[in-house]
Amino acid sequence: MLDKKHISDEDATLISSRPEVAILADYGVLNYRGEQDYTLSGKNVVICGSSESHVTEIFNTLDEGQFPTNENEALITNNAKDMLDLEIGEQIVITLPNGDEMSYTISGFLNNAAKLMSEDSYGVFLTTEGFRAIYPNDISSNPADYTMRYVQFNNTRNIQHSIAEIKQQFGLSDEQVSENTELLGLLGQSSNSFMLQVYATAIILFFLVLIAGVLMITSSMNSNVAQRTEFFGMVRCIGATPKQVMRLVRKEALRWCRFAIPLGVVSGMILIWVLCLILRQLSPEFFGGMPIFSISYPSIIAGIVLGLLTVLLAVRSPAKKASRVSPLSAVSGSANDLQPVKQAANTKFFKIDVSLGIYHAKASKKNFILMVSSFSVSIILFLAFSVTIDFMNHTLTPLQPWTADISIISSEDTCSVKADYIKDLQQNPAVKNVYGRMFAYDVPVIVNGEEKVVDLISYEDMQFDWSKDYVLFGSLERVQRETDTGLIVFEPQNEIEVGNTITLNMNGNQTDMEIVGMLSQCPFNNRPEVGKLICSEDTFRDLTGEMDYTIIDIQLSKNATESDVNDIHNMVGSQYIFSDERLDNSNTRGAYYCFGLFIYGFLVLIALITLFNIINSIAMSVAAKMKQYGAFRAIGLSNRQLAKMIVAEATTYAITGTICGSVLGIVCNKILFSKLIAYRWGDAWSVPLVELGIIIVVVVIAVILAVRNPIRKMKEISIVDTISAS
């Protein structure tokens, strides 16, 4: 989907007739920022002109009734319906900036929009013709300039090609055509430079996952082949050629696929259905139209192909190893017997049992490389995907503890919201928390002989409590207890420091205030050029003489209903801006939870894969060398010494893999950080010590769990059984 600006009606008709275009919808807006004085019953109103498809198909916001059939009908948002007690068929009157009035018959109601609710505005939708009839004629003489065109395509195979063709055919510039970056980005069709960086990151992560799968399967199959040396030797004894042995190993791996791939596809489908259900519940604004039980055949085919490709790549090395097993191995029962010992175990630094464990780990270079690579790639994967946490925190801002559901705001930014409302709202069972702030804007101050300007803001105890995590220097307690003290909010250009005494000029009176602390941030850093000075309510009232608030914030209880909100709205009346942030908060919370579910879920999955892969790899490696351990027991090594050998072997894999994985993972983390974060937001990269520590702990836990079962099994089996085990 994309939007096109300043397109004539004739060109719009031609574009809509193109076979690849599913929908072309008009859209125009007046008073979007509330600065043009269009009102409905004294409230600010945003007026939109559109075609029916815009409301019913593209955005699907129609809640009740039908789209207007003529210029004298209108759709209005549900918040206007609730507050003005309106019904379909009733008349509404919109007052224009010049004082003229326009009457419309209500044809239906629209779902509320987060922006309208937070600004305490109403929304009205007219037909395109009705919208153009009230659009100020002095702005443009061409009615088409009042309207944008939203285009939705039939299919998503080659949207950029279709856009290029439309631009060329109608002579449209890049400024006239803009894409829906989020939507096309999800479809893999965006030409946005940042989305191209995201695609590059996705490709890197895809290959990392593929490499991880190949290495893990190769490591397991390599150990499996080593366990069955006698079997492959016997196959060679009865006349099988090396090619036939390789084919046998491949067929065996593919037979596993007969069960593994269908199981993976079915499990994946069920998991996707569950995730779709969760997404719809967490964020209906973004995922409400997502089907739950849909089946993606391209994804299933891609999964099958990827599974087969992974197995075929992974089986190559073990198949070659099996094909090189000679008939003599059928008698000896160990492929390692065929490898000449060039150097004895080094006992210079460790005792013989530990030295033998290290020697065992490094005896077969291929097996050692596979095991270390298997360890390393898990760490690399974890460190690479951890970048997505920073990406999530930049693209989605989580709700802060002080985020309000409802705000009652002075329409003139003065201290005019009655303080008595606080007491009344505290008694309301639908209200969880209520707190107010008083503002004095652009207060002149003198700092070290220089004149500055600050915004003076009052906090009460709850807001001071929320600020504890943001204290850089100084004390909150002094500000709460002592008058004529304050906190400054850090800004790079800020010259006020903790310990300074500043002089405020309030209504012609000068008062000194001591700065006793500094906060790293506050919710009001929207004007960084103006300093933010925070004080207690008592200090603010002493300085200004004001008793009422500029804003009162309300956090609702979980069981609060729409009726409760309407009661609060009716209580405060229409003299203030009643900012309803619930829809916006719900969307933000839902989107953050959805993103977090995938990011943290995938990181947990990688950690679990690391855990099970290490346990499986070490267990199979030990099982493949069971006869050798039996021989060591036969020549006098105790169970304790054998346990130390196994631990030393596993630790060798873990330490080497951790070092390699950490180095390569940090490099990969930096590359992906530069593409996802630094490219867009300019943040400086730092070594991900927390993530590195987490995955190292997972590796240590995995090694501890991995050696327990082989050691226990070694103790339970007799020497004869151990030597004869295949």
What secondary structure, in 3-state letters, does 521-584 show?
CCCCCCCCCCEEEEEEHHHHHHHHCCCCECEEEEEECCCCCHHHHHHHHHHHCCCCEEEECHHH
| pLDDT at 334 > cutoff 50 | no
Are 241 and 112 members of one domain?
Answer: no
**Inside any domain, residue 586:** no
Render pLDDT for 495-537 as a digit per residue (tens, 0 to 9).
788 889 999 988 778 899 999 999 988 887 667 778 899 999 9
Are 330 and 461 members of one domain?
Answer: no
Coil/strand/helix, residue 639: helix
Residues with Cβ within 8 Å of residue 318, at least 6 apart in sequence = 218, 221, 222, 224, 225, 249
The percent of residues above 90 in pLDDT, for the chain, comes to 30
| pLDDT at 340 > cutoff 70 | no
For position 534, what pLDDT does the model report? 94
Render pLDDT for 96-106 as a digit per residue (tens, 0 to 9).
998 999 999 99
Q: Is 25 left (phi over 0), alpha (psi -120 to 50) or beta?
A: beta
Taking a C-beta distance cutoff of 8 angstroms, is the pair 547, 419 a contact?
A: yes
| pLDDT at 624 > cutoff 70 | no
Residues with Cβ within 8 Å of residue 580, at least 6 apart in sequence = 79, 117, 118, 120, 405, 406, 565
**Inside any domain, residue 699:** no
| pLDDT at 400 > cutoff 90 | no
The structure tokens listed for 381 are 């994967």
Are 173 and 234 members of one domain?
Answer: no
Render pLDDT for 176-226 as a digit per residue (tens, 0 to 9).
888 888 778 777 788 777 888 888 888 888 888 878 777 777 766 666 666
Distance CA 54, CA 68 (A): 13
Are 424 and 521 members of one domain?
Answer: yes
The percent of residues above 70 in pLDDT, for the chain, comes to 88
**Inside any domain, residue 40:** yes
Distance CA 502, CA 496 (A): 8
Which stretches of 34-190 are assigned E, i.e. beta strand? 39-40, 43-50, 62-65, 73-77, 91-95, 101-110, 122-127, 148-153, 177-179
Coil/strand/helix, residue 399: coil
Are 244 and 169 members of one domain?
Answer: no
CA 640 to centroid of chain Cα atoms: 48
For position 345, what pLDDT does the model report? 55
Taking a C-beta distance cutoff of 8 angstroms, is the pair 415, 549 a contact?
A: yes
Last residue of a domain, one of 561, 580, 599: 580
Are 423 and 306 members of one domain?
Answer: no
Distance CA 133, CA 149 (A): 18
How large is the angle between the packed helices 365-385 and 297-323, nearest 10 degrees? 160
List, as own/partner pairs, every contact residues 181-188 make where C-beta atoms lie below 8 angstroms and the sequence separation is at least 24, other chains included: 183/1, 184/1, 184/2, 184/159, 187/156, 187/159
For position 335, what pLDDT does the model report? 45
For position 2, what pLDDT does the model report? 54
How many domains is the chain built from? Answer: 3
Taking a C-beta distance cutoff of 8 angstroms, is the pair 76, 106 a contact?
A: yes
CA dihedral 574, 113, 521, 484 (to 10 degrees): 0
For position 68, what pLDDT does the model report? 96
pLDDT band at 330 (very low <50, low <70, confident <90, very high): low
Taking a C-beta distance cutoff of 8 angstroms, is the pair 190, 179 a contact?
A: yes
First-to-final CA distance of the chain = 63
Q: Is 434 left (phi over 0), alpha (psi -120 to 50) or beta?
A: beta
Q: Residue 686's CB: how many other CB atoms inside 10 A?
A: 9
pLDDT band at 726 (very low <50, low <70, confident <90, very high): very low
Mean pLDDT of 609-637: 73
What is residue 289's DSSP assignment?
T
Distance CA 701, CA 114 (A): 47
Are 171 and 253 members of one domain?
Answer: no
Mean pLDDT of 412-423: 93
Would the CA dihedral through 569, 572, 575, 578 be positive or negative? negative
Are 165 and 40 members of one domain?
Answer: yes
Coil/strand/helix, residue 151: strand
Name residue 512's amino acid. D
**Inside any domain, residue 417:** yes
**Inside any domain, residue 706:** no
Are 141 and 274 members of one domain?
Answer: no
For position 702, what pLDDT does the model report? 86
**Inside any domain, residue 145:** yes
For position 286, what pLDDT does the model report? 67
- Residue 151: which of 50, 58, 67, 55 has the closest Cα? 58
For position 692, what pLDDT does the model report? 92
Are 179 and 233 members of one domain?
Answer: no
Residue, of 350 and 422, whose pLDDT is higher: 422
Computed over every residue of the chain, the mean pLDDT equals 83
Are 304 and 244 members of one domain?
Answer: yes
Are 165 and 249 members of one domain?
Answer: no
The structure tokens listed for 41 are 């019953």
Last residue of a domain, one of 287, 308, 341: 341
Distance CA 39, CA 96 (A): 7
Domain holding 486, by residue range, is 406-580
- The model carries a pTM of 0.70
Residues with Cβ within 8 Å of residue 57, at least 6 apart in sequence = 23, 25, 152
If DSSP states are collapsed to H, E and C, what string results for 434-457?
EEEECEEEEEEEEECCEEEEEEEE
For position 431, what pLDDT does the model report? 95
Render pLDDT for 549-606 as a digit per residue (tens, 0 to 9).
999 999 999 899 989 998 999 898 888 999 999 988 888 888 888 888 888 888 888 8
Mean pLDDT of 261-284: 83
Render pLDDT for 292-309 as a digit per residue (tens, 0 to 9).
788 888 888 888 887 888
**Inside any domain, residue 370:** no
Mean pLDDT of 255-281: 84
Last residue of a domain, one of 552, 580, 608: 580
- Residue 49: which of 15, 83, 26 has the closest Cα? 26
**Inside any domain, residue 34:** yes
Taking a C-beta distance cutoff of 8 angstroms, is the pair 50, 125 a contact?
A: yes
The structure tokens listed for 698 are 């997972």
Q: For 242-251, 313-322, 653-662, 700-709, which range has the lowest pLDDT when averaged over its residues?
A: 313-322
- Residue 347: which of 53, 641, 708 has the closest Cα? 641
**DSSP string of 644-674, one letter each residue:** HHHHHHHHHHHHHHHHHHHHHHHHHHHHHHI
